[in-house]
Structure 1
Amino acid sequence: MGGRQSGERQAGCPAPSDFPLPGNALDFFHQDHLRKREVCARISRLSELEAPDADEICDIMSFLTHELPPHLADEEQDLFPLLARRCRPEDEIEPVIARLAADHRRIRDRIPGILAVLKAADPGGKAFSDEHRARLHRFSTDLLQHLILEYAIVLPFARLRLNRRDMGLLQKGMLRRRGLDRLLEACDAG
């Protein structure tokens, strides 16, 4: 794995995942899934606090705004199509991909509402309303269930079926979406 490319770690926040330079792109997905799991736990904890923490809110909002969208795009634009091409009929990957793509649409549709709940919070003040607690908890739970499916089915099939060329295409797409594709060119030249 390469060095950290996504900025400094914020206080109390798990660091954004390292980008795979020039390592295995699936290792990056694994790291990203671990980070997503930690953020889900933080959302659940935040929803239960009597006085929301401003730094925690900021960190979660940053994740939802800057890290989660490219991760979803990595899967939709590169990983899922590669799996659809490489998996065998007996792998029955198509229904899994269809479900995950539908989950992605729901996640994207819900992010603005979650951001609004977080923006409306009174850091250090009163707790979230019962409705807002429920929305945060439901979002976190749904995201975790989605993550379990990716981790249990998608990544193992990707490790089994994708070849070296596929991994290179996956990595290039991931770097391009983050504006880091020049880093890969530098690695190739060096």
Structure 2
Amino acid sequence: MKSDSLLIKPAPSFDEPVEMLKACHERIAAQCATLEKLAAHLPSHGANTQAQQAARNIMRYFDIAAPHHHADEEQDLFPVLMEISQRQCSPVGARIASLLDEHRSLEASWAQLRIVLADIAKGKTRLLEPVRVADFIGAYRSHIALEESQIFPFAEACLDRLQLARLSAAMVARRTITPR
């Protein structure tokens, strides 16, 4: 066993907003894996306690954290990158436009899956359509791959400390609960 395999990579903080967005991708991938396992679990076990909890966990993530992640990108990261892309005549701007379309498609797919997951969370025996699950997971995987291979490296190369600080502050504010 390698000695470095015992080292645990520290979680990124909001002081590293691009790293934080990458960490969100890891959590999205984990929830997609849970969704895949749940779809395989249901035919044999139905909406048992384990399935209900998995459905609740998936819904919590995609109802709360995933919309924050999309907003981080759409409202704060992408507009700055599009501006830089135009100045540099970079193709990143066109890729960002397609990512925005993908966000809408992912959200629509989620809305359909959520209906079934809500029933499962209540203990109703429902099956998740394998094609719908596979399409959702595949779309997220390719979406994440594009962001991590092209958009995030562009951001890391182009954003200055002030822009990163603004992105970080916006991400924190989005997740801060303000008393009424």
Class of the TM-score when normalised by the shorter of the 2 chains: 0.7 to 0.9
Residue 27 (structure 1) aligned with residue 19 (structure 2): yes
Give the structure 2 partner of residue 117 of structure 1.
116
- 1:106 to 2:105 alignment: yes
Amino acid corresponding to residue 43 of structure 1 in structure 2: L
After superposition, the CA RMSD in angstroms is 2.3
Superposed CA offset, 1:139-185 (max 9, x none): 1111111111111111111111111011011011111211269xxxx
Cα shift at 1:121 = 2.6
Q: Distance in 1 between matches of 2:13 and 2:97?
A: 27
Distance in 2, matches of 1:150 and 1:40, equals 17
Q: Can you list the C-alpha shifts for 1:29-76, whole angstroms capped at 9, x where unaligned? A: 111111111111221221111325111111100001010001000000
Q: 1:56, 1:74 → 2: CA distance?
A: 26
CA distance in 2, matches of 1:178, 1:65: 13
| Aligned equivalents of 1:125, 1:180: Cα separation in 2 | 33
Q: Percent identical across equivalent pairs?
A: 26
Please state if 1:175 is matched with 2:167: no
| Residue of structure 1 in register with 2:163 after alignment | 166
1 CA distance for matches of 2:156 and 2:56? 34
In structure 2, the CA distance between the partners of 1:158 and 1:122, relative to structure 1 (3 Å rule), is closer
Partner in structure 2 of residue 39 of structure 1? 31
1:48 partner amino acid: A
Residue identity matched to 1:41: A
Paired residue for 2:56, among 32, 55, 58? 58
Q: Which moved more, 1:60-69 or 1:77-86?
A: 77-86
Q: Distance in 2 between matches of 1:125 and 1:102?
A: 33
Asked if the contact 2:39/2:127 (under 8 Å) is kept, the reply is: yes
Cα distance in 2, alignment partners of residues 161 and 63 from structure 1: 30
Change (3 A) 1:124 1:18: farther
> Which residue identity is paired with 2:101?
A
Q: Kindly indicate whether the alpha-carbon contact (under 8 Å) linking 1:76 and 1:101 is maintained by their aligned counterparts in 2.
A: yes
Residue aligning to 1:184: none
Structural mapping, 1:55-94, within 5 Å:
55-87=53-85, 89-94=88-93
TM-score, normalisation: structure 2: 0.80
Partner AA of 1:168 in structure 2: A
Structure 1 residue matching 2:176: 3-state secondary structure? coil
Question: d(CA) in 2 for partners of 1:122 and 1:115?
Answer: 10
Evaluate the alpha carbon distance shift between residue 85 and residue 122 of structure 1 in structure 2; reply closer, same or farther with a 3 A threshold: closer
Question: Whole-Å Cα distance in 1 between the matches of residues 13 and 32 of structure 2?
Answer: 21
Which amino acid is the alignment partner of residue 85 of structure 1?
Answer: E
> Does the 8 Å contact 1:40/1:141 carry over to 2?
no
Match in the other structure for 1:140: 137
Distance in 2, matches of 1:180 and 1:18, equals 21
Structure 2: stretches of 5+ with no match in the other structure: 1-10
Q: Which amino acid aligns with 2:111?
A: P
How many pairs are equivalent? Answer: 161
* Residue aligning to 2:146: 149
Aligned to 1:185: none
